[in-house]
Amino acid sequence: MENLIIRTEEILDSKILDYYVETKYDEKILNQLESSVPCLLVGSRGVGKSFLFRVMRQRLTDHFGLEHILPVMVTFRNATLLETDNVEKIQMWMLSKITTEIIRAFKKAGIITSRGTFLHGTNSVEDEGSYLEEICSQFENSWRTNSSYIPENFPTIDNLLYAVEDICVANNISRVIVNIDEAAHVFIPAQQRQFFTMFRDLRSPYLKCNAAIYPGTTCFGDSFQPMHDAVFLHINRDIQDENYISFMKETVTRQLEDSTKIQQLMSYGNNFTLLAYAASGNPRLLFTTLSLVDKINAENTNRVFREFYRERIWSEHSSLAEKFPTCRTLIDWGRDFIENVALPELKEKNDKYIKGDKPTAISIWMNRDAPQSIKEAMRLLEYTGIVSENATGIRATRDKIGTRYIVNIGCLMSLEPTPTSTGMNIVKRISIKRMSEYGDNSLHYSSLSDAINLEKFNTNQFLVDQLEKSIDLLELTSWQKEKLHSVSIDTIGNLVAATEDEVMKAYYVGNVRARQMKNSAFAAVFEYLLG
Amino acid sequence: MDCTELYLGTQKQLQENVRVSLESGYMSEIASSQSFIDDYNTWVEWISIKYNNALFLLALSEYETSIVFCLQSLYKQAFTGIRSCLEHSLFGIQLSTNLYQFLQWKNGNYDACWSKITDQESGLFSKPYISAFCPDMCTLSNIVGVSTRNLYRECSEFVHGNYNIAFSYTEEFKYNEGNLLIFFDKLKNLRYILEFSLFVRFQNEFDSKDISKFEPQLVEYLGHLHEINDFLSISDKGE
């Protein structure tokens, strides 16, 4: 099916609202994005983060005369221009980009006008707009020069906030909302930490920021506190929602101008429904799979499952190792675990359940005391959409508590010999409560060593600095810290490098406490492992 | 009534037309049109480093005054300005590709020729030309070429005084919503054509800092083209 637009950037502003299919879920997210509270929009690739930003921008633009809220879109690109060891330059580059887009938005709204014109010459009148442009110019010049000297009167974030406030007050604007797309993806982790420090500070009664991030691969740094500095909005479309299929259908048909194509789509309704479920709530996956074939007849649909959900989606996950080479072990383990353990187990169970006319399973559960490295591997799987975190604090067998993940249904269905014949049997009777459970010491974790060899990371100065910090900075009890010191585990690096057995040499420390201590250390360094 | 009274009275009427236009409810279209002046100026300043930018400055002045004419409800003059801006810009691009033609033009021995600019075999929207400067945009050559020729032809009706246009101008110079909207629609087309043409011609001379400078306007006017997103993404990887 040709000409489906897969990426949001390719949709014209004039069409964006035509393509938007309103749901209560999305409206709730949009209301939060339009509020005065900074939001982090979290979702794997293709779920619709950029799309919702664009919808929000278009709506606020259309209603600017009534609501006086000015939307601004920023997408970070060309991050490779930056010198990664100079944190001030990184911040200047980000601020320059944000300020440039704020100025463009003010111009598009007619609030400020072009400075140099044929009719008026260079406008020498000092006004709020010229002050903001002067700040932008200084940010711009700062990151472009080779000098690291920053003069005394150099503008700060506060100056930017004051400049925006002056313009808003003078023009009766309620607030400016800056939506930052690809907020972390293009940055190396060191730059991400700088970004979130800036994100936290870019806030005033007249300006706030939203940012779109991926789960699992975002580094917040130490000064940004996720619980306090932003509201997290997770985009997870529930395939069990009664309106899910109609939503996906509408999302596709709105792009099809040709009624013949719509007719054709509807004539293969069952196969479309199957592919919609296989996409697991991710519109881009659905568009991508539909664009692979002309007609979604049985033969083509089964081919999609074979070629896309059994091969291509996995190679995309494995290619993550090129972006995060230090996490190759985690990435490979994650693929191996889901592809060769979790999915076959679910299929085997479902075959029995279906025969016995019982509910089927699409979720796995992991004990909250599983090694941190395992949890980080699962988060990397979330990034590529292989799994999605469904809920935390879920009770399983023997009253243990853990996290429930839903696997990509397309990957699960691809194990069927003929998905078009049997795939709907799985989907029609899903029970989220049926889970394949993996305890705190599952045998499947053993291939991912609990002791990480840190020698290969000694060129990463950020990581080295983090590892040299004392364990006293970790979120452990005084007693736990005392026990670690008693066995000469004094730094975070010592604790990460030690095995659980070595930690258990401390008096009265069993395997549960050893696991907790190691998890704390690993959580503190994981984002630095990314780079 | 003497001349002074006549023309001051005219100015008052035009001022009233501007007021009505600004209060018409189309401020976003007016502001979007006006904001392009800075974007085009960025091109003008960049071009001046290596090439002569006289024609581009002229084009920019035509763009700016066409907005003023439109707000004054002088719609014929406004559409004429769009045509002039288009022609000057594309002629400027053409001369930047040929030093001999440029020197001939400078000496007064060579004029703009619309048919040459838009020639389907050798003009600025022909496949050979776009293949030479920006092969990735070749698939768009036909559609942008048609759009350019249509825009020029439609605006030319005002320059040549075609019957249908002449007929509608027996009326007084007053605000007309229909004409205002047609103007903004054509101006939007103009911006797209200019950004496309300037990008095709000059993108292979960009360094990384230039890409950063032009990125906001490329995303705004051409961002729906995957070729532009690919270009910016490839630039991002430092290739």
The more confident residue out of A72 and A461 is A72
Q: Give the contacts of A437 (CB within 8 A, at least 6 positions apart).
A: A364, A365, A367, A396, A397, A402
| Residue A84 pLDDT level (bands cut at 50, 70, 90) | low
- Residue whose structure tokens are 């091969």: A311
d(CA B54, CA B80): 19
Structure-token pair, residue A399: 């009253």
Determine the pLDDT at residue B238.
40
Q: Is A120 in CB contact (< 8 Å) with chain B?
A: no
Determine the pLDDT at residue B166.
56
What is the torsion angle, in degrees rounded to the nearest 10, for the CA atoms of residue B19, residue B22, residue B24 and residue B25?
-150
d(CA A202, CA A230): 12
The more confident residue out of A217 and A469 is A469
Determine the pLDDT at residue B159.
75
Determine the pLDDT at residue B169.
54
Determine the pLDDT at residue A28.
95
d(CA B190, CA A145): 35
What is the pTM assigned to this prediction? 0.85
| Residue A3 pLDDT level (bands cut at 50, 70, 90) | confident
Q: List CB contacts (< 8 A) between B210 and chain A.
A: none
Q: Residue A404's beta-bridge partner residues?
A: A365, A391
d(CA A160, CA A134): 10
| Residue A261 pLDDT level (bands cut at 50, 70, 90) | confident
| Residue B136 pLDDT level (bands cut at 50, 70, 90) | very high
- Closest CA of chain B from A109, distance in Å: 6
Mind listing the pLDDT tens digit for each residue in A469-497? 898 888 788 889 999 999 999 998 888 88
Hey, are the CB atoms on A108 and B61 less than 8 Å from each other? no
Query: Would strands A39-42 and A207-213 be described as parallel, antiparallel, or unpaired?
Result: parallel
Counting residues of chain A whose pLDDT is more than 90, the rounded percentage is 48
Determine the pLDDT at residue B45.
94
Structure-token pair, residue A156: 């700060």
Query: Would strands A401-407 and A231-234 be described as parallel, antiparallel, or unpaired?
Result: unpaired
Mind listing the pLDDT tens digit for each residue in B54-92? 999 999 999 999 999 999 999 999 999 999 999 999 999
- Closest CA of chain B from A76, distance in Å: 10
| Residue A127 pLDDT level (bands cut at 50, 70, 90) | low
Whole-number Cα distances in Å, B34 to A18, A125, B29, B38, B57? 27, 18, 9, 8, 16
d(CA A335, CA A411): 12
Helix then strand count (H, E) for chain B reads 12, 0
Tell me which range, A30-34, A257-261, A393-397, is most confidently predicted by mean pLDDT. Answer: A30-34
Q: Give the contacts of B54 (CB within 8 A, at least 6 positions apart).
A: B92
| Residue A260 pLDDT level (bands cut at 50, 70, 90) | confident
Determine the pLDDT at residue A498.
87
Determine the pLDDT at residue A459.
60
Query: Would strands A121-122 and A116-117 be described as parallel, antiparallel, or unpaired?
Result: antiparallel
Q: List CB contacts (< 8 A) between B31 and chain A.
A: 107-110
Determine the pLDDT at residue A456.
58
| Residue A132 burial class via C-beta count within 10 angstroms: exposed 0-12, middle 13-18, buried 19 and up | buried
Asked if residue A93 has pLDDT above 50, the reply is yes
Residue of chain B minimizing CA distance to A76: B236
Q: Is A326 in CB contact (< 8 Å) with chain B?
A: no
Please report how many Cα atoms fall inside a 13 Å half-sphere around the Cα of residue A406, on the Cβ side. Answer: 22
- Residue type at A229? D
d(CA A317, CA A294): 26
Hey, are the CB atoms on A10 and B225 less than 8 Å from each other? yes
- Residue whose structure tokens are 């919808």: A55
Are the CB atoms for B53 and B44 separated by under 8 Å? yes
- Closest CA of chain A from B140, distance in Å: 14
Of A359-363, A457-461, B30-34, which range is least confident? A457-461
- Across A201-225, average pLDDT: 87
Neighbours of B22 (CB within 10 A): 13
| Residue A189 pLDDT level (bands cut at 50, 70, 90) | confident
Q: Give the contacts of A200 (CB within 8 A, at least 6 positions apart).
A: A38, A223, A224, A229, A230
Most B CBs within 10 Å, among A4, A66, A78, to test the B interface: A78
Q: Is A6 in CB contact (< 8 Å) with chain B?
A: no
Neighbours of B13 (CB within 10 A): 15
Determine the pLDDT at residue B237.
45
| Residue A453 pLDDT level (bands cut at 50, 70, 90) | low
Q: List CB contacts (< 8 A) between B238 and chain A.
A: 80
Q: Note which residues in 96-115 of chain A have CB less than 8 A from chain B.
A: 100-101, 104, 107-110, 113-115
Most B CBs within 10 Å, among A4, A98, A118, to test the B interface: A118
User: How many CB pairs below 8 Å do chains A and B form together?
Assistant: 76
Q: What is the mean pLDDT of chain A?
A: 86
Q: Residue A125 — φ and ψ, nearest 5°?
A: -70, 130
Q: Quick one: three-class SS letters along A126-175?
A: CCHHHHHHHHHHHHHHHHHCCCCCCCCCCCCHHHHHHHHHHHHHHCCCCE
Mind listing the pLDDT tens digit for each residue in A322-378? 877 778 888 999 999 999 999 999 999 999 999 999 999 999 999 998 988 898 899
- Across A158-180, average pLDDT: 95
The more confident residue out of B205 and A85 is B205
Are the CB atoms for A293 and A303 separated by under 8 Å? yes
- As for the ipTM of the complex, it is 0.88
| A79 vs B28, B215, B236: nearest CB | B236
